[in-house]
Amino acid sequence: MVLSLLSGFGCIDSLLRATKRVAIRSAHALPQSAVVGSMCVGTVSGSGAANAITIGSATIPSMIGAGMPPATAAAIESASSLGGQLMPPVMGISAFLMAEFLGKDYFDVVARGWVPALIYYATVSTSVYLLAIRFRTRLVVGSVEGLTWRDLVNLGAFVVVVTGLVGLMATVHLAPMFAALYVFIAVGSALFVINFVSVLSQWSPRGLIEPIVRFLDAFTDMISDLALLLATLSIMTGALVITGVPTKLGSVLIEAAGVNLVAMVLLSFIFGAILGTGLPPAPTYILVAIVIAPPMIQVGVNPWVVHFFAFFLGVFGELTPPTSLVAAVTAKIANASFYQTLNRALQICISLFTLMAGVFVRPELVIEPGLGQMRGALLVLTATIGITFSLQARFSDRGSVDLPVRLALALCALIVLLYPSEQVAAAACLPVVLTIAYWIIWRRPAATLAMTKAVGPAVLATSFVKADSPGRMD
C-alpha cells in the first residue's frame, strides 16, 4: 500500500532523477545508480521483480549505453533488486513472518536485519565498481534535469515513509499493520494536499486524478499478486503436510546432525534451493522454516540463526537456476541471454552465500542487535569483500601471477569466514587487506589510465528518466 502510494505520486521517479544527477558525475558512478536506487526502493518494496522493473527499465539502458555488456548490466540490476528483499523495514515481507514464527517483536527482527543487508549491498557495490573498471564504462554527459520543488517534496516523502515506519515500531511499539496505516494516512494526505494546491495553480483537473488512478492501479496489481502468492503457498503447504515431508526430512536432518552440523546445513540448503526454483522468497522462507527450524533448534542451533539462514536461503531461491524471475525481467530489458545474466548475477550475489555460512560460524551477526553484531559483521564483511576481489579484480596482466594471487586471496578470505577461532580469523584478515590495498594503490591507477586512453572523450548515453512524463511509471 505504501509503495503504491509512492509510485502513484511520482516519488520513485523523483528518486531516479536524483540518482541520475549523481550518476553522471563519474564513469564509475553510473552502475552504482542501480545499486543505490534498488536499495532505496527495496526499503518499501516486497518484490524483487517489481524492483527490477521499476529501477531496471531506467538503469539498464544507461549502463549498456556507457559500455557495460548487456548481460552484465542485467546481472547488476538483478543483484541490486534482489537485495531489496534483505532491506529493512520490509525485508520482502519476511520480517513480519519471522516475527510471528519466533514470537518476537517485529522491531527485534528489523534491528537484526540491517547489518546483513548493508553487508550485502557493500559487497554488490564493490563488485559493480570492479566491473566498471574492467569494462571501462564511459562518462555519461548530456542534458540533466534539475530537481524541481515537487521532486524535493517527493524525496522528503520517501524519507518520511522509511523513518516513520521504523520510528513508530521502535519507539511507540506499534504493530506493523498500524504503523503502515498511520504512515500511509499521513504521507498520503500530505501528498494529496500538495498535489491539489499544485493542480489549482495550473488549473489542471486531470493532474488531480492521475496520481490517484496510478496509485489504485499499482495497489490492485500488488494485491492480485499477493492473492495468487497466498493461494500457491496454501497449496504447497498442504501438499507438504499431507505427504509428511517435514517429518521425514526433519528425521533426515537430525541424523545428519549426528555426523556434523555442516551435513545438516548442506541438506537444508539443497532443500531450500529446490523449493526456491518455483516459489518467491517469502513462501520459500516459510516452507524452509517449517521444515528445518524444529530439527535444527532441537540439536542446539540458536533460533535466530536458523530463521535468518532460512531467510537468506529464501532470497537465494530467487536466483536458483534454472528459474529466476528477477533475472528473466532484467535480461528481457537488456535483450541479453537469460543464462549469462543469471550466471553473472550469482557471482555478484556471492555475499548471499557468505551470509548463509556466516550466521553459523559468527552467530553474533544476528543474535544480538547493535554493537554486539559488529565483531562478527566486520569479519564476514572482510571475507566477502576478499572473495569479491578474487572473483572480479585483476592483480596482474600475466595469468601465471594473477591466478595464484586470486586463489591465495580467496583462501585467506575463506579462513576469515569459516575458521571458528576469532584470533585466527582476525590474523587472516591481514593478507586480505594487504592484497586489496595493493590493488587500490598500484593496479587501480593503471586500470583507470587504460580506461581514459581507451574511452577518449565522454559520450552521451541513454537518459534514464523520461523527460516527457515526470510523474508516470513506465
Taking the C-alpha atoms of residue 464 and residue 155, their distance in angstroms, rounded to an integer, is: 18
Structure-block grid coordinates of residue 387: 572473495
Instruction: Identify the pLDDT of residue 458.
Output: 45
Taking the C-alpha atoms of residue 163 and residue 159, their distance in angstroms, rounded to an integer, is: 6
Domain assignment of residue 107, yes or no? yes
Domain assignment of residue 474, yes or no? no
Q: Which amino acid is at 211?
A: P
Domain assignment of residue 466, yes or no? no
Instruction: Identify the pLDDT of residue 226.
Output: 65
**In terms of C-beta distances under 8 Å and separation of at least 24 residues, what long-range contacts does 367-376 make, across chains too?**
367/112, 367/302, 367/304, 367/305, 369/108, 369/111, 369/112, 369/115, 370/111, 373/112, 373/115, 375/422
CA dihedral 448, 449, 454, 460 (to 10 degrees): 60
356 contacts: CB under 8 Å, gap ≥ 6:
269, 309, 312, 313, 316
CA dihedral 247, 252, 258, 260 (to 10 degrees): -120
- What DSSP string describes 321-368? TT--HHHHHHHHHHT--HHHHHHHHHHHTHHHHHHHHHHHHSTHHHHS
- Give the orientation angle of helix 303-316 with respect to helix 94-102, to 10 degrees: 150
pLDDT in tens, the chain (474 residues): 777 787 778 787 788 778 777 666 666 677 887 888 888 877 776 677 777 887 888 888 888 887 889 999 999 999 998 888 898 877 877 888 898 889 888 888 888 999 999 999 999 999 999 988 888 766 555 555 667 888 888 888 888 888 888 788 777 777 777 888 888 888 888 888 888 887 776 666 777 788 888 888 877 876 776 677 667 667 766 776 677 766 676 677 667 666 678 888 888 898 888 888 777 888 889 888 888 888 888 888 999 999 999 999 999 988 887 778 888 889 989 999 998 999 999 999 999 999 999 999 999 999 988 787 888 999 999 999 999 999 998 888 888 888 999 999 999 999 999 999 999 999 999 999 999 999 988 876 655 555 545 444 444 444 444 433 334 333
Q: Which amino acid is at 446?
A: A
Domain assignment of residue 467, yes or no? no
Domain assignment of residue 465, yes or no? no
Query: Secondary structure of the chain: what % helix, strand, coil (to 5)?
Result: 80, 0, 20
Q: Which of 45, 77, 41 is nearest to 58 (CA)?
A: 77
Domain assignment of residue 403, yes or no? yes
Looking at the 3D structure of the chain, how many domains does it have?
1
Contact 112, 369 (CB under 8 A): yes
Angle among Cα 274, 277, 282 to the nearest 5 degrees reads 95
Taking the C-alpha atoms of residue 196 and residue 210, their distance in angstroms, rounded to an integer, is: 11
Q: Which residue, chain included where needed, has cell 488531480?
A: 208
Q: Which residue(s) pair with 460 in the sheet? A: 141
155 lies in which domain range? 2-460
Domain assignment of residue 472, yes or no? no
* DSSP letter (8 states) at residue 92: G
Q: Which of 64, 28, 24, 73 is nearest to 448 (CA)?
A: 28
Structure-block grid coordinates of residue 430: 591481514
